Structure 1
Amino acid sequence: MRHPVRVGVQVSNQHAPYTLIRDTVRQLEDLGVDIIFNWDHFFPLTGDRDGLHFEAWTMLGAIAEQTSRVEFGPLVNCNVYRNADLQADMARTLDHISGGRFIFGTGSGWFERDFVEYGFDFGTVGSRLDALAVDLPRIRDRWTKLNPVPSRDIPILIGGGGEQKTLKIVAEHADIWHSFADPDTLVRKLDVLRHWCEEVGRDISEIEFSTGTSLRGPGTLDHTSLEKYHALGVTLFEIGINAGADLAGVRALLAWRDSVEG
């Protein structure tokens, strides 16, 4: 099944007072974006590493109440920071607050400072992915036991492209796969994902493909890459901004979405 082209915008949790983040979210919904993401980190990733920063899931509750149309979620939750059953309950609660608009974006985490300063075991890439593989079935099982259960089958978005572990987890659990690969690399990654889907008995067409999008300059899209991604089956295009940033790039991506969808 071919999904419609959608635009997601990740509003970073950094270097802005919450009021500016809130106002940016409002502007994005009014512009017509399809999904609003934040990120699950405890410190800024760029600029002043000790600058302003807010926690992700608390903010998602505010976004759930503030918005009325867009889907939303973390890009992506770090599985290690919260007990699996608690994650399920938090996601279910946001699903109900928002009337069924929450997307459970998740991954294994990578920013060592988050782990160290907040007292989590950083482990290895492999150990963190193993934990994600164990916890996702627990999360899905908990959703069946909660009262009330989620209002819909909460979409699971998994980010990353590791070919031995991550893409197998995607094949088993993801409704949306967010890739960080360039179009040429994505060709190989899709072949690997196809292999894992065959291994686990999943139809790859059930998984929506998502990618990050970069600009050539202020408000200027890389149309060549967008068209290559779309030809490969990508339908969710994400762009990242800081709160209060110029939204010319978002507007350009929305215009491209509308031209593709006709």
Structure 2
Amino acid sequence: MRIARFVVDSDPLYGVVEDQKVHVLAGDPFFQGIKPTGQSHELDDVRLVAPIIPRSKVVAFGRTYRKHAEELGNQVPAEPIMFLKPNTSVVGHNEPVTLPSFSDEISFEGELAVVIGRICKDVPAEKVPEVVFGYTAANDLTARDAQRTDLQWGRAKGFDGSCPLGPWIETELDDPDNVGIVTRLNGQVRQDGGTNELIWSVNELVARASEAFTLLPGDVILTGTPAGVGEVREGESIEIEIEGIGTLRSVFRR
């Protein structure tokens, strides 16, 4: 099932995407369940927005793919590197991203994102599916120059618009550890990998996040990016296609 958050006229709504239509839900499915209203819209007639604005946090992991660590000249860490992105970093499908004035080196990173469905803490890896609401595509935009100079990654990874999510949440993904990730810059393939290359499994990463933080409904976990990252500039576009989910598109401006 694909759960979208969208706008008709001015009010954001939730809906189920099926057969190029979006069927409106009553209220927030994270707290009220899947309750169709009987109303529907053509998908092309609505504006998709971020499928979730985390009430709490985005927990992200870095250097979880060996080849990506190597392409940036980094060693593979003994433990996954964990950092936070604020909810103000989140934007939706096709929404413009304003490149930050403090950086001249913004890099794209296509990733599988996990959306948490209920409050949880210290979840064993084998029980992670019980706390997952679904999955979506993410772009962990990074100011590489700030990442190199700052002692921590808050500014480099957390600027406004640095976490595009979408286009919707897929609640049923057969095997999160075996989905393809393709990133295109202006239509040209730059990343072509998949979660089968992860050093730690998706469930292990969510379990690690739950060791450090109480996870709340709507929290998002970014699982890291495969090799092939590169810079994006004003006027360019990025498409991140994740097998079994869909394609997230972002455009960039100054």
- What TM-score, normalized by structure 1, do the two folds share? 0.26
In terms of fraction of residues, the more helix-rich structure is 1
